[in-house]
Amino acid sequence: MGTTGQLSAVPEPKYWHLRTVLLRAIDSEFSTGQVLPNERELSARFGVARATLRQALDQLELEGRLVRRRGIGTLIAAPRVGVPVSRQEEGWPGAARSQAWRTIDCTTAPASAQLAKSLGIAEGATVHTVRRVRLVEGRAVAGESLHVPAAALPHLPGFRAESDRARSVLRQLERLEVDGESRSVELGVAEAEQAALLERPPGAPVLVMTTQYASAGRLVALAVSTYRADTCKLTFGEAGLVEVTPVGATAEVRTAS
Protein backbone atom coordinates (compact mmCIF):
# COMPACT_ATOMS: atom_id res chain seq x y z
CA MET A 1 0.00 0.00 0.00
CA GLY A 2 2.81 2.33 -0.90
CA THR A 3 0.66 5.01 -2.46
CA THR A 4 0.15 8.13 -0.43
CA GLY A 5 -3.34 8.74 -1.66
CA GLN A 6 -3.69 9.75 -5.28
CA LEU A 7 -7.39 10.40 -5.04
CA SER A 8 -7.71 12.03 -8.41
CA ALA A 9 -10.60 14.38 -9.05
CA VAL A 10 -12.97 11.85 -10.55
CA PRO A 11 -16.76 12.09 -10.43
CA GLU A 12 -16.68 8.86 -8.45
CA PRO A 13 -17.28 9.08 -4.69
CA LYS A 14 -14.12 9.07 -2.61
CA TYR A 15 -15.21 6.12 -0.53
CA TRP A 16 -15.77 4.02 -3.60
CA HIS A 17 -12.44 4.87 -5.05
CA LEU A 18 -10.86 4.16 -1.71
CA ARG A 19 -12.52 0.78 -1.62
CA THR A 20 -11.04 -0.07 -5.01
CA VAL A 21 -7.58 1.01 -3.93
CA LEU A 22 -7.83 -0.96 -0.72
CA LEU A 23 -9.17 -3.99 -2.56
CA ARG A 24 -6.16 -4.01 -4.84
CA ALA A 25 -3.91 -3.72 -1.82
CA ILE A 26 -5.67 -6.57 -0.08
CA ASP A 27 -5.36 -8.79 -3.12
CA SER A 28 -1.74 -8.06 -3.73
CA GLU A 29 -0.07 -7.21 -0.47
CA PHE A 30 -1.99 -8.92 2.31
CA SER A 31 -3.01 -12.40 3.21
CA THR A 32 -5.69 -13.95 5.39
CA GLY A 33 -5.49 -12.98 9.02
CA GLN A 34 -3.17 -10.04 8.59
CA VAL A 35 -4.19 -6.81 10.26
CA LEU A 36 -4.51 -3.55 8.39
CA PRO A 37 -3.18 -0.30 9.80
CA ASN A 38 -5.73 1.24 12.13
CA GLU A 39 -8.50 3.47 10.85
CA ARG A 40 -7.01 6.73 12.08
CA GLU A 41 -3.76 6.05 10.35
CA LEU A 42 -5.38 4.87 7.14
CA SER A 43 -7.63 7.90 6.96
CA ALA A 44 -4.62 10.15 7.48
CA ARG A 45 -2.62 8.31 4.88
CA PHE A 46 -5.32 8.70 2.27
CA GLY A 47 -6.16 12.21 3.32
CA VAL A 48 -9.82 11.60 4.10
CA ALA A 49 -11.97 11.80 7.19
CA ARG A 50 -12.23 8.69 9.26
CA ALA A 51 -15.94 8.40 8.45
CA THR A 52 -15.14 8.28 4.76
CA LEU A 53 -12.55 5.61 5.23
CA ARG A 54 -15.03 3.65 7.29
CA GLN A 55 -17.53 3.81 4.46
CA ALA A 56 -14.99 2.09 2.23
CA LEU A 57 -14.27 -0.53 4.90
CA ASP A 58 -18.01 -1.11 5.29
CA GLN A 59 -18.21 -2.10 1.63
CA LEU A 60 -15.27 -4.46 1.87
CA GLU A 61 -16.73 -6.03 4.96
CA LEU A 62 -20.05 -6.57 3.17
CA GLU A 63 -18.12 -8.33 0.44
CA GLY A 64 -16.57 -10.61 3.01
CA ARG A 65 -13.06 -9.36 2.43
CA LEU A 66 -12.49 -7.80 5.85
CA VAL A 67 -13.37 -8.57 9.43
CA ARG A 68 -13.33 -5.81 11.99
CA ARG A 69 -12.89 -6.57 15.65
CA ARG A 70 -13.30 -3.95 18.30
CA GLY A 71 -10.22 -3.57 20.38
CA ILE A 72 -8.17 -5.62 17.93
CA GLY A 73 -8.15 -4.16 14.46
CA THR A 74 -9.23 -4.80 10.89
CA LEU A 75 -8.21 -8.17 9.52
CA ILE A 76 -8.16 -9.73 6.08
CA ALA A 77 -10.99 -12.26 6.02
CA ALA A 78 -10.66 -15.86 5.00
CA PRO A 79 -12.46 -16.81 1.78
CA ARG A 80 -16.09 -17.66 2.33
CA VAL A 81 -16.98 -21.17 3.37
CA GLY A 82 -19.10 -23.13 0.93
CA VAL A 83 -22.04 -24.41 2.96
CA PRO A 84 -24.01 -27.23 1.34
CA VAL A 85 -27.73 -26.74 1.69
CA SER A 86 -29.18 -29.57 -0.34
CA ARG A 87 -31.22 -32.14 1.51
CA GLN A 88 -28.99 -35.13 0.91
CA GLU A 89 -25.93 -33.32 2.20
CA GLU A 90 -27.22 -31.82 5.36
CA GLY A 91 -29.60 -34.59 6.19
CA TRP A 92 -33.34 -34.24 5.88
CA PRO A 93 -34.81 -31.59 8.17
CA GLY A 94 -34.04 -32.65 11.57
CA ALA A 95 -32.27 -35.89 11.06
CA ALA A 96 -31.42 -36.36 14.67
CA ARG A 97 -28.21 -37.87 13.46
CA SER A 98 -27.28 -34.84 11.42
CA GLN A 99 -23.93 -33.54 12.52
CA ALA A 100 -24.39 -30.18 10.93
CA TRP A 101 -27.14 -28.93 13.23
CA ARG A 102 -27.30 -28.65 16.97
CA THR A 103 -30.71 -28.36 18.55
CA ILE A 104 -31.23 -25.51 20.98
CA ASP A 105 -34.80 -25.91 22.10
CA CYS A 106 -38.29 -26.80 21.05
CA THR A 107 -41.52 -25.01 21.80
CA THR A 108 -45.10 -25.98 21.10
CA ALA A 109 -47.60 -23.18 20.73
CA PRO A 110 -50.57 -21.97 18.71
CA ALA A 111 -49.63 -20.48 15.35
CA SER A 112 -49.63 -16.73 14.89
CA ALA A 113 -51.65 -15.40 11.97
CA GLN A 114 -48.56 -14.97 9.86
CA LEU A 115 -47.11 -18.37 10.61
CA ALA A 116 -50.45 -20.04 10.05
CA LYS A 117 -50.69 -18.45 6.64
CA SER A 118 -47.21 -19.60 5.72
CA LEU A 119 -47.98 -23.14 6.78
CA GLY A 120 -51.41 -23.17 5.23
CA ILE A 121 -53.13 -24.02 8.47
CA ALA A 122 -55.69 -22.33 10.69
CA GLU A 123 -54.58 -19.55 12.97
CA GLY A 124 -54.13 -20.86 16.47
CA ALA A 125 -53.46 -24.43 15.37
CA THR A 126 -50.68 -26.09 17.29
CA VAL A 127 -47.20 -25.85 15.86
CA HIS A 128 -43.92 -27.31 17.05
CA THR A 129 -40.94 -25.03 16.58
CA VAL A 130 -37.45 -26.42 16.83
CA ARG A 131 -34.61 -23.94 16.98
CA ARG A 132 -31.20 -25.07 15.86
CA VAL A 133 -27.73 -23.80 15.10
CA ARG A 134 -25.54 -24.94 12.29
CA LEU A 135 -21.88 -25.32 13.06
CA VAL A 136 -18.99 -25.43 10.66
CA GLU A 137 -15.65 -26.17 12.20
CA GLY A 138 -17.05 -25.28 15.58
CA ARG A 139 -18.27 -21.85 14.52
CA ALA A 140 -21.97 -20.99 14.33
CA VAL A 141 -22.79 -20.07 10.75
CA ALA A 142 -26.55 -20.29 10.75
CA GLY A 143 -29.61 -20.28 12.95
CA GLU A 144 -32.86 -21.94 12.06
CA SER A 145 -36.44 -22.15 13.17
CA LEU A 146 -38.16 -25.26 11.96
CA HIS A 147 -41.94 -25.06 12.17
CA VAL A 148 -44.00 -28.23 12.05
CA PRO A 149 -47.77 -28.32 12.38
CA ALA A 150 -48.72 -30.76 15.09
CA ALA A 151 -51.25 -32.20 12.68
CA ALA A 152 -48.43 -33.37 10.45
CA LEU A 153 -47.06 -35.61 13.16
CA PRO A 154 -49.99 -37.77 14.29
CA HIS A 155 -47.78 -40.33 15.94
CA LEU A 156 -45.84 -37.98 18.16
CA PRO A 157 -45.52 -39.41 21.65
CA GLY A 158 -47.26 -37.53 24.44
CA PHE A 159 -45.84 -34.80 26.59
CA ARG A 160 -42.22 -35.03 27.49
CA ALA A 161 -39.35 -32.98 28.73
CA GLU A 162 -38.40 -30.31 26.24
CA SER A 163 -35.12 -31.83 25.14
CA ASP A 164 -36.92 -35.06 24.39
CA ARG A 165 -39.67 -33.31 22.50
CA ALA A 166 -37.21 -31.75 20.08
CA ARG A 167 -35.77 -35.16 19.41
CA SER A 168 -39.20 -36.67 18.95
CA VAL A 169 -40.34 -34.02 16.52
CA LEU A 170 -37.22 -34.43 14.40
CA ARG A 171 -37.49 -38.19 14.48
CA GLN A 172 -41.13 -38.22 13.44
CA LEU A 173 -40.38 -35.77 10.71
CA GLU A 174 -37.60 -37.97 9.48
CA ARG A 175 -40.01 -40.85 9.05
CA LEU A 176 -42.16 -38.91 6.61
CA GLU A 177 -41.53 -39.35 2.93
CA VAL A 178 -40.54 -35.96 1.67
CA ASP A 179 -41.56 -35.67 -1.93
CA GLY A 180 -40.89 -32.03 -2.58
CA GLU A 181 -39.15 -29.01 -1.32
CA SER A 182 -39.16 -25.39 -2.34
CA ARG A 183 -36.58 -22.86 -1.34
CA SER A 184 -36.02 -19.17 -1.49
CA VAL A 185 -33.02 -17.07 -0.59
CA GLU A 186 -32.95 -13.38 0.14
CA LEU A 187 -30.92 -10.78 1.97
CA GLY A 188 -31.80 -9.83 5.52
CA VAL A 189 -30.29 -8.49 8.69
CA ALA A 190 -29.87 -10.33 11.96
CA GLU A 191 -32.09 -9.14 14.78
CA ALA A 192 -31.08 -9.45 18.39
CA GLU A 193 -31.81 -13.12 18.91
CA GLN A 194 -30.24 -14.43 15.73
CA ALA A 195 -27.37 -11.98 16.06
CA ALA A 196 -26.48 -13.39 19.45
CA LEU A 197 -26.68 -16.91 18.10
CA LEU A 198 -24.36 -16.08 15.24
CA GLU A 199 -21.98 -14.10 17.42
CA ARG A 200 -22.57 -10.98 15.37
CA PRO A 201 -23.84 -7.50 16.22
CA PRO A 202 -27.48 -6.71 15.47
CA GLY A 203 -27.92 -5.58 11.89
CA ALA A 204 -25.31 -7.95 10.52
CA PRO A 205 -26.21 -9.08 7.00
CA VAL A 206 -27.58 -12.59 6.64
CA LEU A 207 -28.83 -14.79 3.85
CA VAL A 208 -32.32 -15.89 4.75
CA MET A 209 -33.25 -19.23 3.30
CA THR A 210 -36.87 -20.30 3.54
CA THR A 211 -37.59 -23.94 2.83
CA GLN A 212 -40.94 -25.63 2.50
CA TYR A 213 -41.06 -29.38 2.81
CA ALA A 214 -43.96 -31.32 1.37
CA SER A 215 -45.04 -34.85 2.06
CA ALA A 216 -47.89 -36.54 0.27
CA GLY A 217 -48.73 -33.23 -1.31
CA ARG A 218 -49.08 -31.44 1.99
CA LEU A 219 -46.82 -28.87 3.57
CA VAL A 220 -45.33 -30.58 6.61
CA ALA A 221 -42.52 -28.25 7.60
CA LEU A 222 -41.28 -24.75 7.13
CA ALA A 223 -37.67 -23.94 7.87
CA VAL A 224 -36.38 -20.40 8.10
CA SER A 225 -32.60 -20.39 8.23
CA THR A 226 -30.41 -17.35 8.54
CA TYR A 227 -26.83 -17.78 7.37
CA ARG A 228 -24.05 -15.34 8.15
CA ALA A 229 -23.58 -13.49 4.89
CA ASP A 230 -20.05 -12.45 5.74
CA THR A 231 -18.66 -15.94 5.97
CA CYS A 232 -21.06 -18.17 4.07
CA LYS A 233 -21.56 -19.10 0.48
CA LEU A 234 -24.63 -21.29 0.07
CA THR A 235 -24.02 -24.20 -2.27
CA PHE A 236 -26.83 -26.12 -3.90
CA GLY A 237 -26.94 -28.87 -6.33
CA GLU A 238 -25.57 -32.24 -7.06
CA ALA A 239 -22.16 -33.32 -5.97
CA GLY A 240 -19.61 -34.55 -8.43
CA LEU A 241 -19.04 -31.27 -10.17
CA VAL A 242 -15.88 -29.28 -10.02
CA GLU A 243 -15.45 -27.12 -6.95
CA VAL A 244 -16.89 -23.70 -7.57
CA THR A 245 -14.28 -21.00 -7.47
CA PRO A 246 -15.33 -17.39 -7.64
CA VAL A 247 -14.67 -15.62 -10.89
CA GLY A 248 -13.57 -12.03 -10.51
CA ALA A 249 -12.76 -10.45 -7.21
CA THR A 250 -16.35 -9.67 -6.32
CA ALA A 251 -19.55 -9.67 -8.27
CA GLU A 252 -17.94 -8.44 -11.40
CA VAL A 253 -16.82 -10.68 -14.16
CA ARG A 254 -14.78 -9.14 -16.89
CA THR A 255 -14.40 -10.57 -20.30
CA ALA A 256 -11.47 -12.90 -20.40
CA SER A 257 -8.43 -10.78 -21.02
Partner DNA sequence: CAGTGGTCTAGACCACCAA
Partner DNA sequence: TGGTGGTCTAGACCACTGT
What CA–CA distance (Å, rounded) separates 72 from 92? 40
Q: Establish if 72 lies at the interface with a second copy (CB under 8 A).
A: no
Span 14-53, contacts to a second copy by CB under 8 A: 16, 19
Spatial CA neighbour of 63 closest among 26, 113, 97, 94? 26
216 binds, among DNA, a second copy, none (CB under 5 to 8 A by kind): none
> CB atoms < 10 A from the CB of 34, how many?
12
Q: Which one of the spans 70-78, 95-103, 166-174, 217-225 is the region binding a second copy (CB under 8 A)?
A: 217-225
Q: Which one of the spans 25-33, 66-74, 152-160, 243-251 is the region binding a second copy (CB under 8 A)?
A: 243-251
Q: Establish if 11 lies at the interface with a second copy (CB under 8 A).
A: no
Looking at 4, 9, 70, 187, which residue binds DNA (CB under 7 A)? 70
Q: Establish if 50 lies at the interface with DNA (CB under 7 A).
A: yes
Span 77-96, contacts to DNA by CB under 7 A: none
Q: Establish if 71 lies at the interface with a second copy (CB under 8 A).
A: no
Secondary structure of 99-148 as H, E, C letters: CCEEEEEEEEEECCHHHHHHHCCCCCCEEEEEEEEEEECCEEEEEEEEEE
Q: Establish if 24 lies at the interface with DNA (CB under 7 A).
A: no
What CA–CA distance (Å, rounded) separates 24 from 210? 36
